[in-house]
Structure 1
Amino acid sequence: MIPTYIFWNHHEEEQGLFVWDGNKDLRKFVSLCGKHGLGVILRIGPFAHGEARNGGIPDWLFGRPFDLRSNDQEYLSYVKRFYQEIGKQIQGFLFQDGGPIIGTQIENEYEHAGAPWEMTNGTGNEWVPAGRDGDEHIIKLKELACQSGIQTPIYTSTGWGGAAAPVEEVLPLWGGYAFWPWIFYGDVKEHPATPEYIFRDYHNDHQKNEGFDPAYGPESVPFACCEMGGGMTVFYKYRFKLPYESVDAMAEMKVAGGCNFVGYYVFHGGSNPKGKKSPFLNENATPKISYDYQAPIGEFGQIRESYKRLKRQHYFYKTVEESFCKTKTVLPYNVIEIDPYDIETLRFAVRAHRDSGYVFINNYQDHVETKDQKDFAITVNLENEEIRFPKSGGMSLSKDECCILPFNMDLKGLNLKYSTAQFLTSMEHEGETYFFFFTPKGMNVEYYFDRNDIQEVQVENGNIISEDYTLIEVGNEDMSVIDIKLKSGRTLHICTLTNEQSLNFWKFSYRGREQVFITNAALLIDEEKIRLESEGLEDIEIKSFPGLMDSISIAGEEIRGRNHGLFMEYKKTISNCHTGIEVKMVNQNKAVIHFQPEAFDDVKELLLQIDYAGDIGYAFIDGELIHDNFCNNDLWEIGLQQHKQDLLAKGMYIYISPLKEGSFVKSDSPMAARAEVINKQIAEIKSINATAIREFEIEV
């Protein structure tokens, strides 16, 4: 399911002239979502925020004599016209018509957040107001949306910060961020550790939760999220490199607290379009074009570690969704009292239904140097028994990691009392069931089974600890497989992956059967085709279960497989050398790049990677800005494919503006003259390289 903003000033930058083509083609976007089986939630504003210019409000509304974001009739007349245009674009794609649009978000952070009026920035510094008319305004906007043909089964509105969200009309949505760059536009000098990584119960009428203070009883409405921090954009006054471990830890915290409706902001980074009347459509605190957001999928389709970490949780939630949604949050008595700076106390929670469920453990905390949690145990007290993780001794979890461990989990007729491995997913093959788990980083894995139903056990890369086959330890260095034959005649297989293997795990349907890959490439499945996407790899490695064939073809080359335990392995060597790019340094912070046609040969995307020190990176083609980057000591990446023809004809110019120390504006001239004086500045291009993203199709 994909929520998507519809920024008013992107589509009606000039009053009365609506633009719905090119990369603003809403109808085509929704159609593509439907083609690929993805539901859509439209975030129709009229105020959107999203670090867009004026929060998405068109500039021409500044010159109108009425209050914005209010029930003023003249303001609402413009909103209705905008909504009617949206209604025309989505006609035939609503859920009631068999289309993918299942939900509508009304407004955004109403009566909680405004945005700078960019035309006044640097002078009057006025703001688009946060709103004034409370629930009545949300109700009125929903009415206008319905009248305009935007009729969906679900209507939502953001609930945090005291925002208006009348529960009789909309589902309040929540979220959480661990990185708050906006606080540095006041008097804050240092980012605090946030309370986001302390376990909470969001369905408890009697518990106060920091940042969650709804106007309704928490037990009366589902706790649903639309903005769990999938990343965060760099603001000019706060430069940081996002720890990818923060993303899946955030998801775990919200789900452990009762969330069954998981939503991220942002999941796929993007680029701000340029305006026709205003050169740029960004908020002034953020880059003019880049809105990469350090997201799980980057601005140019880069697959990041946070994507792989989230994918593990998503497979789990999808596999157990029916039983999992019945579980409720149970917290240790003192967990809400934990200070975010406390790295000694073990953080854990439980979601359980009757006598089964999952233990959530978190060892990540933002803005604090954490440490490995070692030699700890957790006891779950149930109505008829007590389960200790582990049965004897202790377990460990590496710094910045989180995990979800099952207890009394039904494995198709076999009760798993507990495991110190995290469950991924399961599949059927030739009448037998395969369960995939993985080793949380730092953990020693063991499985403890009810013995009554077991007839025989065999273990590859592990040991049976007890004679009655109930306790099994597996190795951490490589994959392990446990084969269990039940007295009922059913055979089960439990495959435990290493932590690294789990990050490269993919499950999909291919030609009517379930398939698993472990591959260092990204996987794309489309209309019964298997495609691999490689970014800077010298070898593509695939472990396939079930095995595809003794040999397969990748990009026309025959690749023979070899058996490796449960999996069939394939390996393709690819050329990673790149030619056709010439970099000429003008000085230490300026470079000109020329491109030859071969630079783009057999390339899906060409990523320019710039390592630099300074303030802001600017990329130009013939004097026109095509990309920018606020330096945060990470590589600056630019996708070049969309500019191919201009780059071949005109080349590119890279400029790094200096980070200045002791600068001031000299203004003591008797004439109308001012000049900047700089005592020290830092601006240096350290390296410029290109990495090709290539796509290969597998033929079986």
Structure 2
Amino acid sequence: MKKIRSATLSIAALLTTCIPSPLVSAQAPASQASIVVDASTPIAPPETGFLHMGGTSPNGHSLQINSRYLVLNGKPWLPVMGELHYSRLPESEWEDEILKMKSAGIDIIATYVFWIHHEEVEGQFDWTGQRDLRHFVELCAKHGMYVWLRPGPWAHGEARNGGFPDWLNKLPDTRTNDPAYLRYVARFFDQIGIQVHGLMFQQGGPIIGTQLENEYGLHGPGRGAEHILKLKQLAIAAGIDPPLFSVTGWPSLDFPPREVVPVSGGYPDGFWFGSQTNLPPSMNYLFNFNRELGDMGATVPSEDPTGKVDLKHDPYFAAEQGGGMATAYHRRPVLTSDDIAALTLTGIGSGVNLYGYYMFHGGTNPKGKLTTLQESVASGFPNDLPELTYDFGAPLGEFGQTRESYRKTRMIHLFLNAYGSTLAPMTAFAPEHHTRNPADSSASRVAVRSNGTSAFLFVNNYVRQLDMPARKAFQVDIKLAKEDILVPSNPINIPANTYFAWPVNLPIGNATLRYSTAQLLTQLDTPTGDTIVLFALPGIAPELCFDASNLRSLTAPGAKIESSHGTIRVSNLTPGLKNFLQLTDDSGKVTHLLLLTQDEAEQTTLLQIHQHDHLAMTRSDILFDGKTLRLRSTLSPDQRLAIFPSLPNSETHDGAWSIYTTHQPEQHLNLTVTPTQTATPIASMTMGPYFDWRQTKVALVPPDTAFTNASTWQLSFTNPRVNGLSNVFLRLDNTGDIARLYSSSTLLDDNFFNGQPFEIGIDRFISPGKPADLKLEVLPMPTNAPIYLDDSASKKLNLSRAIPKLIHASLIPEYESSLPLK
């Protein structure tokens, strides 16, 4: 082996070393400890023409589907879809939240059209204000976002009656081909069709898909596949006719095979379970090569009672991957950012070719005309949900708060945005020995997606509420069609509780990156050439290994470069904004590689500025409409943004980066908190009805009359009228059971205690410059309440379980600065 430490390496000087035959591995044989993945099986081309779907827009854009993936304008497409319910968000906030989702690398916004939100009173349709579906879809189109409608007619989504109006529930037969029911469905679909007229993809609009029904498991004449087909016919007749139609692939696969695509899903935890303890480790952290569904609520494993469905015809799409979890009264799990991001990576490694989050953005139930609009036991459903909040612990919160999971998942989205066309045609392969036991922490969890010559190696060493150990002497032997590759070339240690994806035989011009132990973030097409961005994983030394045969030169300042058996290995790399490597292939094409830290990668998004790709790095939230870039932050009034490549109008540069700094006067907001009533302890709770699938009764939400015994506080402040503030958040850190915030007699928001702060965006309720006198009510929780809380929440509650306590209350200003990018 030759070693050299140099800023620039001429590859020609090293080619006198042994260059292996192309049929032989360029590395030493695998040790017994290596994990073997055989990805050498020839991959047949995908089946086309089976599914009755696809379409072309008036301007010539095309969207097609085959048995493995989507094809957008002739190129394989692996999109990211995030759920946001327009009717659970004030219309004045829609545009900003769409921009946040776009900045997160989301391609498609999925949204329910809840029937009860639009026709709560029979015959009286409401499409105004936050129910204005058309305006919402038009805003998505304005900012280049696709839309996937979920019109039900039965939706669930923790809405009252699953979205059915109360009056519809009085019909003797629903969710079947009963003529009376179908007449109402046709009328509802016709109303939706009017709202979205001209907005289908084939009409030049953003709507590319429609999901029919949800969690549908009825069988028999006029049900099952017959009913789903009838719903599709009614949707098309109403003008809801996008290129793609889907159904949930649970609890049944009884659907018309050519007419819809089944979508999958999986959550790390569930509010619907009856357990008062941590659930067993979720199967959703195992690489899933057979589309096996975990528990998706009150369902049974997917089945096809007709024997007509063969999933080999359908691509592996997921529409309900957990972006968080709702809070029910009896069970209140809280997902961490790693719980969510590790699930994302595992799904992609399993072969998912459309990754959809439920939810990506939280919301608030609108006020009903006749009743409250949440799922409840009182309305005949098995779970009590909060009356108003539907925050879901999502990457974007109920009031648009960006959470750590927003940044963790964005790194994966940027990778999919850049490399999805390469990844989508690849098949997922399992290692020779892989565990099928979700609780097995002894085995490494590995998957490879490959096309036979190139691949991506996925590793998940993370499971919610299960401590996964470090992996010693980790190495994977990937068998491709014409060679074996050891990744990495020498065994390394993988830290505990980590997850990542590495490229294998990635083409870079005519050159080839054999592997990288740094993770790909994105790729930029800039006026000065291509730039590939990677980031170093904590606890794993970044190492890049190249095939020397098509490499003319490599510049890697300060790195160690080694040559052996026709490969060039670069190590001792220091991540950072200025750590650019330069690669020149044998045609003379130059590509730059930028290696970031993971912290820097979490601050990064990709923007189109002046029709060119640019990295934007900041700890603030970015909202960019193509002309003006806005920064928002609750961390500091001083905000900093770095953009690569640098822009000509910027006054400050740091190497190849433009640096922008903004300053707002710091706001010290006064909040007066006055205790007005102290609750007395309560001894017990009412238990709910028994369900066979849950096999237990659960605690029921207390009646409104229980709040006469709540602890109460008066909260007084003025919402400041200050330039440079985009919002003010009231953050309440309390213990207890249920918290409710009122303005006079109007309920503004509510919260089931789960250990997290109760946070409210004040601008939604109190105009800037106006005083506020709000009332906080918190119910006590019995000492031995049959309610599940995560360990951290239980410990916090034990500080003052019997009597609610307001530990801390504060007003958090959200600063905003604008940067016109000329």
Q: With the length of structure 1 as denominator, give the TM-score of the two structures.
A: 0.88
Q: 1:684–1:188: structure 2 CA closer, same or farther, 3 Å change rule? A: closer
Q: Which amino acid aligns with 2:760?
A: I
Contact in 2 for aligned 1:4/1:41 (Cα 8 Å): yes
Corresponding residue SS for 1:303? coil
Please give the secondary structure, in 2, of the residue aligned with 1:470: strand
- The equivalent of 2:568 in structure 1 is 470
How do 1:18-29 and structure 2 match up within 5 A? 18-29=125-136
Question: Could you say which residue in structure 2 is the equivalent of 1:510?
Answer: 609
Equivalent position of 1:523 in the other structure: 622
What is the letter of the counterpart of residue 659 of structure 1? M
1:196 aligns with 2:284: yes
Which ranges of structure 2 fall in alignment gaps of 5 or more residues?
Answer: 1-107, 296-300, 378-383, 679-710, 787-799
Structure 1 residue 297 displacement after superposition: 1.1
User: Is the Cα contact below 8 Å between 1:330 and 1:350 reproduced in 2?
Assistant: yes
Q: Which residue does 2:61 correspond to in 1? A: none
Where does residue 358 of structure 1 map in the other structure? 456
Where 1:307 maps in the other structure, the secondary structure is helix
**Contact 1:111–1:130 (Cα < 8 Å) also in 2:** no
Where do 1:306-385 residues align within 5 Å? Answer: 306-335=405-434, 337-385=435-483
1:222 and 2:222 aligned: no
Letter of the 2:638 counterpart? D
- The aligned amino acid for 2:436 is I
Aligned residues: 652
Partner of 1:557: none
Query: How far does residue 195 in structure 1 lie from its aligned partner after superposition?
Result: 0.7
CA distance in 1, matches of 2:472, 2:508: 29
Question: In 2, distance between residues paired with 1:440 and 1:81?
Answer: 54
Q: Which of 20, 36, 40 is the matching residue for 2:147?
A: 40
Q: 1:130 and 1:369, CA in 2 relative to 1: closer, same or farther beyond 3 A?
A: farther
Contact (CA 8 Å) 1:198, 1:347: kept in 2 or not? Answer: yes
Taking the aligned partners of 1:546 and 1:607, their CA distance within structure 2 comes to 35
Give yes or no for contact 2:719–2:767 (8 Å, CA) kept in 1: no
CA deviations on 1:265-300 (whole Å, 9 max, x unpaired) are 111111101111114444451111010111111111
User: CA 1:100/1:466 → structure 2, altered by over 3 Å: closer, same or farther?
Assistant: same
Amino acid at match of 1:31: E
| Aligned residue number for residue 275 of structure 1 | 368
Residue 733 (structure 2) pairs with residue 611 (structure 1): yes
Distance of 2:647 and 2:768 partners within structure 1: 43
Structure 1 residues 47 and 616, CA gap change in structure 2 (3 angstroms): same
Counterpart-to-counterpart distance in 2, 1:508 and 1:663: 49
Alignment match, 1:668: none
> Residues 307 and 95 from structure 1, CA distance in 2 versus in 1: closer, same or farther, beyond 3 angstroms?
same
2:682 is the counterpart of 1:583? no
**How far off is 1:476 after superposition?**
5.2
Aligned position for 1:436: 533
Per the TM alignment, residue 477 of structure 1 is displaced from its structure 2 partner at its CA by: 5.8
Query: Contact (CA 8 Å) 1:617, 1:656: kept in 2 or not?
Result: yes
Which range moved further: 283-292 or 570-579? Answer: 570-579
CA distance in 1, matches of 2:323, 2:221: 27
| 1:613-692 equivalence runs, <5 A | 613-645=735-767, 648=770, 650-661=772-783, 681-692=802-813
Q: Is 1:299 aligned to residue 398 of structure 2?
A: yes
**Is residue 246 of structure 2 the alignment partner of residue 156 of structure 1?**
yes
Q: Distance in 2 between matches of 1:239 and 1:132?
A: 38
**Could you say which residue in structure 2 is the equivalent of 1:386?**
484
Q: CA deviation at 1:319?
A: 1.4
Distance (Å, rounded) in 2 between the aligned partners of 1:31 and 1:489: 45
Among 102, 109, 124, which residue is 1:17 paired with?
124
The partner residue of 1:535 within 634, 653, 663 is: 634
CA contact (8 A) 1:111 1:132 kept: no
Q: Is the 8 A contact 1:547 1:567 kept in 2?
A: yes
Deviations 1:357-383 (A, max 9, x none): 100000111231233334311111223
SS of the residue corresponding to residue 41 of structure 1 reads strand
Structure 1 420/214 Cα, relative in aligned 2: closer, same or farther at 3 Å? farther
Task: Identify the residue that residue 233 of structure 2 maps to in structure 1.
Answer: 143
> 2:342 — aligned with what?
249
Q: Choose which of 241, 257, 270 in structure 2 pairs with 1:167.
A: 257
Distance in 2 between residues matched to 1:629 and 1:597, nearest whole Å: 22
Alpha-carbon distance, 1:466 to partner: 3.8
CA contact (8 A) 1:580 1:597 kept: no
**Does the 8 Å contact 1:455/1:487 carry over to 2?**
yes
Q: Does 605-614 or 132-141 show the bigger shift?
A: 132-141
C-alpha displacement at 1:478, in angstroms?
A: 3.7
Measured against aligned partners, the alpha-carbon deviations of 1:483-513 in whole angstroms (never above 9, x if no partner) come to 2233432222111110101101111111222
Q: CA deviation at 1:534?
A: 1.6
| Aligned mates of 1:522, 1:210 — CA distance in 2 | 34
Q: 1:536 to 1:646 in 2, by over 3 A?
A: closer
**Residue 85 (str. 1) matches residue 191 (str. 2):** yes
Q: 1:602 aligns with which of 688, 705, 724?
A: 724
Taking the aligned partners of 1:603 and 1:209, their CA distance within structure 2 comes to: 45
One-letter code aligned to 1:636: F
Aligned equivalents of 1:293 and 1:692: distance in 2?
A: 23
Cα pair 1:592 1:654 within 8 Å, conserved: yes
Query: What is the CA distance between 1:647 and its match in structure 2?
Result: 9.5
Structure 1 residues 551 and 148, CA gap change in structure 2 (3 angstroms): closer
Distance in 2, Cα, partners of 1:393 & 1:257: 24
Q: Please give the per-residue CA displacement for 1:401-457, whole angstroms capped at 9, x wherever unaligned.
A: 211100100011210011101111212334432110111232111000011233332
Where 1:598 maps in the other structure, the secondary structure is coil
Give the equivalent residue in structure 2 for 1:406.
Answer: 503
**Residue aligning to 1:675:** none
Give, in angstroms, the shift of residue 168 of structure 1. 2.0
1:261 paired to 2:354: yes
- Aligned equivalents of 1:433, 1:77: Cα separation in 2: 56
The yes-or-no answer on 1:238 pairing with 2:331 is: yes
2:741–2:776 contact (8 Å) kept in structure 1: yes
Deviation track 1:543-571 (CA, whole Å, cap 9, x = no partner) reads 2211224745xxxxxxxx242x4434343
CA distance in 2 between counterparts of 1:213 and 1:58 reads 28
Amino acid at match of 1:505: T
Which shifted more, 71-80 or 460-469?
A: 460-469
Residue 60 of structure 1 is matched in structure 2 by: 167
Q: How many angstroms does 1:633 deviate by?
A: 0.7
Q: Which has the higher contact order (CA 8 A, sep 6+)?
A: 2
Q: Give the deviation of 1:680 after TM superposition.
A: 7.4
CA distance in 2, matches of 1:640, 1:420: 45
Tell me by how many angstroms 1:141 deviates: 1.4
Q: Percent identity among equivalent residues?
A: 32
Q: In the alignment, does 2:588 pair up with 1:489?
A: yes
Q: Does 1:51 align with 2:158?
A: yes
| 1:351–1:357 contact (8 Å) kept in structure 2 | yes
CA distance in 2, matches of 1:142, 1:27: 21
Give the residue type in structure 2 aligned to 1:148. Answer: A
CA gap of 1:430–1:469, structure 2 versus 1, over 3 A, is farther
RMSD between aligned alpha carbons?
2.6
* Corresponding residue to 1:180 among 270, 279, 287: 270
Runs of 4+ in 1 over 4 A off after TM superposition: 129-132, 187-190, 208-214, 549-552
CA shift for structure 1 position 536: 2.6
- 1:660/1:507 CA distance change after superposition, 3 Å: same
Taking the aligned partners of 1:243 and 1:634, their CA distance within structure 2 comes to: 11
State the shift of 1:697 in Å.
Answer: 1.1
In structure 2, distance between residues paired with 1:358 and 1:294: 30
